[in-house]
Amino acid sequence: MTSDTGDRLILLTNDDGLYATGLRTLLEVMEEYGKVVLVSTVESMSGMSQALTVKTPLRIRLVDETDRHRIYACNGTPADGVKLAVNQLLDRQPDWVVSGVNHGANASVSVLYSGTMAAAIEGCLYGINSVGFSLNSFSRSADFTVCKKYIRIVMDRVISEPLPAGVCLNVNMPAVAESEIRGIMVCRQAKGNWKEEFEKRKDPMGKTYYWLTGLFNNHEPEATDTDEWALANNFVSVVPVTIDMTAYGYIDKLKERFANDPNGKI
């Protein structure tokens, strides 16, 4: 889509730093869809989840401007950056919040830790159409070229009609050659967790410290409708993500557990 961008306003962000290849790749594609305002920390700030900066002041400054984009550096988290842009920087609410392309996948439970997805969720909380893109590679030499094609396919499919209230998209792309990608798969978040999470070391004073590390453990490798399966089988995964974390399926049972309590309403 290179025409009819109208006056569409896109807020772009991520957590790998202002000069990350993934972010710059997404900027290039998003300029085809509208006027882009990019807000990012200068350096990378991974694993920040939906964290907010409450104890230190936030600052934001314009670092680049063309007729297609404005780029701002912000000292906050990805969620802070979206909040600052929507509340203070922009004259009007953006039409889209787009985050990524992250260096590293955000499939399965990684959605809970991801700054990339936190930015999309933050947009969603404001009622803005939001999507996060990630590439399944932490390699510095990862090739983001293939991503462009799939970012365009996803955006072309969703840009014409708003997403439902409270729902944003989590898109993960396999890091393989274009010829190996088998297509796009709408799927659900795989069940899994992290294990072997720390490397224990001694500092020069002999005191113990730990580095966070860890391996992902897919609890349902046989299930073929999950984002982990999609990535492992060279599909681009698209998971609709809700901001409502209520476990609706357990409400009735939980009411039973609180039943007949003199202090309980239920």
| Interface positions, 21-50, toward a second copy (CB under 8 A) | 46-50
140 is an interface residue for a second copy by CB under 8 A: no
222-251: b (≥16 Cβ within 10 Å) or e = eeeebbbbbbbebbbbbbebeeeeeeeeee
Restricted to residues 207-236, the positions that interact with a second copy (CB under 8 A) are 207-212, 235
Restricted to residues 179-198, the positions that interact with a second copy (CB under 8 A) are 181-189, 191, 193-194, 196-198
User: How many residues lie near a second copy (CB under 8 A)?
Assistant: 89
Question: Segment near a second copy (CB under 8 A), from 31-39, 52-60, 95-103, 136-144?
Answer: 52-60
Q: Would you say 132 and 171 are in contact if contact means Cβ atoms under 8 Å apart?
A: yes
- Please return the burial class of 120, using the count of CB atoms within 10 Å of its CB with bins 0-12, 13-18 and 19+: buried
**Cβ nearer to a second copy, comparing 175 with 230:** 230
**Shortest Å distance, C-beta 149 to a second copy:** 8
138 is an interface residue for a second copy by CB under 8 A: no
Cβ atoms within 10 Å, residue 266: 10
Question: Segment near a second copy (CB under 8 A), from 4-12, 22-30, 31-39, 83-91?
Answer: 83-91
The closest of 96, 46, 43, 38 to 62, measured between CA atoms, is 38
SS3 state of residue 115: helix
3 is an interface residue for a second copy by CB under 8 A: no
